[in-house]
A and B are shown apart, each in its own frame.
Chain A
Amino acid sequence: MGQVIGIGAAPKRKEDQRFLTGRGNYVSDIKRPGMTAGVFIRSPHAHAVLRGIDKSAALAAPGVVAVLTGEDVAADGLGSLPCGWGISDAKGVPMKEPPFPMLAQGKVRFVGDMVAFVIAETLEQAKSAAELVNVNYEVLPSVVGVLDAVRPDAPQLFDDVPNNVCCDWELGDKAAVEAAFRKAAHVAKLSLVNNRLIGNPMEPRAAIAEYDPGKGHHTLWTTSQFPHVVRFLMSALVLKLPEHKVRVVAPDVGGGFGVKQFHYGEEAVVTWAAKRVLRPVKWVADRSEGYLSDRHGRDHVTEAELALDENGKFLALRVKTLANMGGYLSTFGPNIPTNLYAPLLGGVYTTPAIYCNVKVVFTNTVPVDAYRGAGRPEATFVVERIVDVAAAEMGIDRVELRRRNMIPKEAYPYQTPVLVQYDSGDPMGCLDGALVAADVKNFGVRKAESARNGKFRGLGFSTYVEACGLAPSRFAGRLGARGGLYESATVRVHPAGQVTVMIGTHNHGQGHETTFAQIVCEKLGVPFENVDIVFGDTDRVQFGMGTYGSRSLVVGGAALSKAADKVIVKGKKIAAHLLEASEQDIHFEAGKFSVAGTDRVKTIEEIAGAAYVPHNYPLEILEPGLEEQAYYDPVNFTYPGGCHIAEVEIDPETGIVTLVNYTAVDDVGTVINPMIVEGQLHGGIVQGVGQALYENAVYDESSGQLVSGSLMDYCVPRADHLPMMKVATHSTLCTHTPMGVKGCGEVGTIGSPAAVINAVVDALAHLGVTHVDMPATPNRIWRLLQNASLPVAAE
Chain B
Amino acid sequence: MQISFTLNGRPTTVDVAPATLVSDLLREQLSLTGTHVGCDTSQCGACVVHLDGAPVKSCTLLAPSLDGATLLTIEGLGATAGSNGLHPMQEAFREHHGLQCGFCTPGMVMTATALAAANPAPTEAEVRRGLEGNICRCTGYQNIVIAVMAGAAAMHATSAGE
Contacts and interface: CB of A to CB of B under 8 A. Distances in A.
B90 to A, nearest CB: 4
Interface string A229-263: 00000000000000000000000111111000000
A76 interface: no
B40 A710 contact: yes
A287 B137 contact: no
Contacts of A347: none
Interface stretch (A65-73, A83-91, A674-682): A674-682
Given A254-B101, A679-B97, A22 B32 contact: yes
Contacts of A724: 124, 142, 145
B25 interface: no
For this complex, into which size category does the number of interface residues on chain B fall?
Answer: 35 or more
A683 B99 contact: no
Contact of B86 (A21, A508, A676, A710): A21
Given A26-B103, A509-B100, A203 B38 contact: yes
A212 B100 CA distance: 35
- Interface of chain A: mostly helix, strand, loop or mixed: loop
A716 B77 CA distance: 28
Interface stretch (A9-17, A94-102, A763-771): A9-17
Interface in B1-54: 27, 31-41, 43-44, 46
A29 B26 CA distance: 11
* The 6 A-B residue pairs with the shortest CB-CB distance in the complex, in nearest-first order: A22-B34, A19-B102, A254-B103, A509-B101, A686-B140, A509-B100
A21 B40 contact: no
A328 to B, nearest CB: 25
| Residue of A19, A22, A722 with highest tally of chain B CB at under 10 A | A22
B118 interface: no
B17 to A, nearest CB: 9
Given A20-B86, A257-B137, A710-B40, A201 B101 contact: yes
A15 B135 CA distance: 20
Contacts of B141: 682, 686, 717-719, 722
Contacts of B36: 26, 202-203, 254
Nearest to B109: A20
A578 B74 CA distance: 52
A722 B146 CA distance: 13
A508 B101 CA distance: 5
A254 B109 CA distance: 16
B142 A682 contact: yes
Nearest to A680: B100
B10 to A, nearest CB: 16
A676 B90 contact: no
Interface of A: 12-13, 15-24, 26, 28-29, 31, 200-204, 252-257, 286-288, 508-511, 675-676, 678-679, 682-687, 710-712, 716-720, 722, 724-725, 748
Nearest to A284: B37
24 contacts: A13-B94, A17-B84, A17-B94, A20-B86, A20-B102, A20-B109, A26-B33, A28-B33, A28-B37, A202-B138, A203-B103, A253-B101, A257-B137, A287-B39, A288-B40, A510-B100, A679-B100, A679-B138, A682-B140, A683-B100, A685-B140, A711-B135, A717-B141, A719-B136
Most chain B CB within a 10 A radius of its CB, from A204, A675, A720: A720
Nearest to A727: B142
A78 to B, nearest CB: 31
B137 A201 contact: yes
Nearest to A16: B94
A508 B138 CA distance: 10
Contacts of B31: 31
Nearest to A748: B140
A509 B131 contact: no
B71 interface: no
B139 interface: yes
Contacts of B94: 12-13, 16-17, 20
Interface in B122-156: 124-125, 127-129, 131-132, 134-145
Contacts of B127: 719
B137 A682 contact: no
B75 interface: yes
B24 to A, nearest CB: 9
Q: Most chain-B CB neighbours within 10 Å: which of A18, A21, A254?
A: A21
Contact of A287 (B32, B38, B93, B134): B38
Contacts of A16: 93-94, 99, 102
B131 A676 contact: no
A683 B141 CA distance: 8
A722 B143 CA distance: 12
Given A724-B142, A725-B142, A202 B38 contact: yes
Contact of A15 (B73, B102, B106): B102
B128 A287 contact: no
A687 B97 CA distance: 18
A161 to B, nearest CB: 34
B116 interface: no
Contacts of B121: none
B101 A287 contact: no
A682 B137 CA distance: 11
B100 A511 contact: yes
A662 to B, nearest CB: 10
Nearest to B94: A16
Contacts of B100: 255, 509-511, 679, 683
B44 A22 contact: no
Contacts of B34: 21-24
Contacts of A719: 127-129, 131-132, 134, 136, 141, 144-145
Contacts of A712: 41, 43
B58 interface: no
B107 to A, nearest CB: 9
Nearest to A679: B97
B75 A202 contact: no
A21 B90 contact: yes
Nearest to B110: A22
A13 B134 CA distance: 22
